[in-house]
């Protein structure tokens, strides 16, 4: 999930935010010594703080997602053709939603995560705990294109699949995309 972390806050933005907070602390409480400021702005300290922030951010988001999954259930999708497969992107969760509707608790919002080349799990409906969903060729391609667009890298079961999706890679993000041919089923 490197793309997700990069989109949250860059290392430079994090350093700027820490400096801003230190200045605010000094304005409200006391002046920091040069050693205290230096220790807090040390690259190793900043790296540790940023890692802790990412973990805390993911934990908070995970609690919300777990609550919604608990309420909506967990559909399991399986591709109905053995000749087709899902790709895995550097942003692996594909969220499909109508314009302006992003809350996962809204039944119009879908979220899907491939867990094998032919299996994908998602967020279900409120009236069912678990359901099995067959994915046809068109639905499979739709999820693969969506995953490719939001990712800087993709990996797939075949070179032909990855090459067919390469034009989509990174078209919804602001960084240089990299296409990697690999095997999901090693």
Q: Of 17, 37, 65, which closes a domain?
A: 65
Is 158 inside a domain boundary? no
For residues 46 and 20, state if they share a domain: yes
Q: H/E/C letters for each residue in 72-103?
A: HCEEEEEECCCCCCCCEECCCCEEECCCCCCC
Is 29 a domain residue? yes
Residue at a domain's end among 33, 65, 97:
65
Same domain, 77 and 33: no
> Do 8 and 60 have their domain in common?
yes
Residue located via tokens 């990412």 = 54
Would 41 be classed as within a structural domain?
yes
pLDDT at 71 (0 to 100): 84
Domain that holds residue 77: 73-148
Residue 159 lies in a domain: no
Instruction: Kindly write down the DSSP assignment for every residue of 87-154, as one continuous string.
Output: -EESS--EEE--TT---TTSTT-EEEEEEETTEEEE---TT-SEEEEEE-HHHHHHHHHHHHHH-S-E
Q: List the pLDDT tens digit at each of the 186 positions of the chain.
A: 455 555 566 788 888 988 998 998 888 888 989 999 899 899 998 888 888 877 676 666 666 777 888 888 888 999 999 999 999 998 888 888 888 888 888 888 888 999 999 999 998 877 776 688 899 999 999 999 999 998 989 999 999 999 999 999 988 744 333 444 443 443
- Residue 160 counted as domain residue: no
Do 41 and 79 belong together in one domain? Answer: no
Q: Is residue 170 part of a domain?
A: no
**Whether the predicted model's global pTM rises above the 0.75 cut:** no
pLDDT value at position 2? Answer: 55
Q: What is the structure's pLDDT at 57?
A: 65
């Amino acid at each position: 999930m490197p793309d997700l972390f990069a989109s949250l806050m860059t290392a430079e933005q994090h350093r700027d935010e820490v400096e801003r907070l230190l200045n605010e602390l000094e304005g409200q409480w006391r002046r920091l010594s040069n050693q205290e400021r230096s220790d807090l702005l040390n690259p190793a300290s900043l790296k540790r703080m940023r890692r802790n922030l990412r973990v805390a951010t993911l934990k908070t988001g995970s609690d919300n997602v777990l609550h919604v999954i608990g309420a909506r259930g967990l559909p399991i999708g399986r591709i109905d053709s053995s000749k087709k497969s899902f790709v895995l992107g550097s942003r692996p969760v594909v969220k499909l939603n109508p314009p302006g509707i992003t809350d996962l608790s809204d039944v119009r919002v879908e979220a899907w995560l491939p867990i094998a080349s032919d299996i994908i799990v998602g967020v279900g409906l409120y009236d069912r705990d678990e359901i099995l969903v067959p994915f046809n060729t068109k639905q499979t391609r739709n999820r693969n294109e969506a995953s490719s667009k939001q990712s800087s890298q993709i990996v797939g079961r075949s070179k032909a699949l990855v090459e067919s999706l390469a034009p989509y890679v990174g078209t919804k993000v602001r960084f240089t995309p990299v296409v990697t041919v690999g095997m999901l089923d090693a």
